[in-house]
Amino acid sequence: MSDDCNNTIIKPGQWLGMIGGGQLGRMFCHAAQRMGYKVAVLDPDANSPAGAVADFHLRAAYDNESALTELAQRCPAVTTEFENVPANSLRFIQAQGSNVSPSGDAVAIVQNRIDEKAFIQKAGVEVAPYIPVRSEDDLQSAPESLFPGILKVARLGYDGKGQARVASRVEAYEAFVEFNKVDCVLEALMPLQREISVVMARGYNDECVFYAPAVNVHHHGILAVSSASPQADELGLGNALLDQARDAAAGIARSLDYRGVLCVEFFVLDGGALLANEVAPRPHNSGHHTIDACVSSQFEQQVRVMAGLPLGHPQAHSASVMLNLLGDLWFNDQGQYEEPDWPAVLSIPGAHLHLYGKADARPGRKMGHITVVAESLERATHQADEVKRLLNLPY
């Protein structure tokens, strides 16, 4: 695509396109509409969270060329809310003349863990020791240093799905069979001190902005709690580590020629070393706090990039703790449906409730989140602990 197209300002009142109808797309719609844009969403689900709030909902498969053509004709710029959108769909839309951020080429790389890890290393960023696993022979010849490890499917794994901890070669083989012998990576388990993520945005003029890294806690493979603060010392993260994480994220974005909002998840090891875990080519769960705690949210940045506008200020004005709300929360100890006590939750100072408009609560399904903001991380954590007590959250 020409630089002239990339530099064209798409003014409020025009259409922006979104492939994917989940909660990230829904929050994008809110940000874009607040700024005066109309949003068209392409998603096959008639009841998708984003489709319910969009100005126009194309109900079709992500690779339906007729629908993709209609989306491109309506929208001078198109983005996506999840990494498993067919990369060729993004390429198809770009070939129709729409601005596409991120590009299909960038998304294709991070859709496959084998390609992603090799690319991250090529960008000069360290990852945990690993090998690609495409056959039983690969497991047979795997170095002993990779055990205990984690076997992960190369494609379509998310929120802990398609992953298995394996203590031995035998367990790795059993997991490989359970995954139907699809391509995988075998990654050594590392001595983790904590997990952090860096959410950033990169515009077509190469401008980059970075949000303060978030410290993340997972429960059963799904992000449960994400804490962030404008004061790095409140998180126990040194400035050198923060600079390293931002530089690594920027290096990956540049190497991908990435435009849009990007999240890089990192492992911080016991000795302080930093390893990249994976890349999300979209806004990220650990960046949801930016809606309530920052000058410009990650979804506003997504709008700004695709519209060719200056990037927003990423500065946090409050410390925050984000709590994910899974479908389990809607059922009592007897397994009966019971709406959570939202009035009690919202009586907690600084608590902001975000529900995603999903009709059916199911165990493990992301139904919403609560962000608690305060003048200090200590205070935000104290208030978030009260929310957890009221909702009986297990994390």
- Say yes or no to pLDDT of 159 above 70: no
161 annotated as ligand-binding: yes
138 annotated as ligand-binding: no
Structural domain total, the chain = 3
135 domain residue, yes or no: yes
160 annotated as ligand-binding: yes
Residue-level pLDDT at 161: 76
Task: Say yes or no: 52 and 88 in one domain.
Answer: yes
Task: Say yes or no: 198 and 338 in one domain.
Answer: yes
Task: Say yes or no: 82 and 166 in one domain.
Answer: no
Query: Where residue 314 sits, what CATH number does that domain have?
Result: 3.30.470.20
> Residue 3: which pLDDT band, with cuts at 50, 70 and 90?
very low
36 annotated as ligand-binding: no
Task: Say yes or no: 255 and 164 in one domain.
Answer: no
Task: Say yes or no: 200 and 156 in one domain.
Answer: no
User: What SS3 class is residue 46?
Assistant: coil
Residue-level pLDDT at 160: 63
- Say yes or no to pLDDT of 5 above 50: no
117 annotated as ligand-binding: no
265 annotated as ligand-binding: no
285 domain residue, yes or no: yes
8-26 residue pLDDT tens: 899 999 999 999 999 999 9
Q: Average model confidence (pLDDT) for the chain?
A: 95
273-305 residue pLDDT tens: 999 999 999 999 999 999 999 999 999 999 999
Q: Are 216 and 197 in contact (CB under 8 A)?
A: yes
Q: How far is CA 185 from CA 52, 112, 128, 130, 266, in A?
A: 37, 10, 11, 7, 17
Task: Say yes or no: 266 and 228 in one domain.
Answer: yes
User: What SS3 class is residue 256?
Assistant: helix
User: What SS3 class is residue 57?
Assistant: strand
152 annotated as ligand-binding: yes
Domain that holds residue 330: 192-391
Query: Where residue 55 sits, what CATH number does that domain have?
Result: 3.40.50.20
**Domain final position from 100, 120, 155:** 100
Query: Where residue 156 sits, what CATH number does that domain have?
Result: 3.30.1490.20
Task: Say yes or no: 256 and 180 in one domain.
Answer: no
Neighbours of 144 (CB within 10 A): 7
pTM of the model: 0.95
- Say yes or no to pLDDT of 6 above 60: no
Torsion, CA 56, CA 23, CA 27, CA 327, rounded to 10: 130
Q: Which residues pair with 264 in a beta bridge?
A: 198, 279
Task: Say yes or no: 225 and 166 in one domain.
Answer: no
- Say yes or no to pLDDT of 268 above 80: yes
159 annotated as ligand-binding: yes
Task: Say yes or no: 227 and 264 in one domain.
Answer: yes
359 domain residue, yes or no: yes
Task: Say yes or no: 231 and 346 in one domain.
Answer: yes
320 domain residue, yes or no: yes
Task: Say yes or no: 198 and 146 in one domain.
Answer: no
Task: Say yes or no: 214 and 175 in one domain.
Answer: no
113 domain residue, yes or no: no
171-205 residue pLDDT tens: 999 999 999 999 999 999 999 999 999 999 999 99
355-395 residue pLDDT tens: 999 989 999 999 999 999 999 999 999 999 999 999 999 99
195 annotated as ligand-binding: yes
38 annotated as ligand-binding: no
113 annotated as ligand-binding: yes
114 domain residue, yes or no: no
163 annotated as ligand-binding: yes
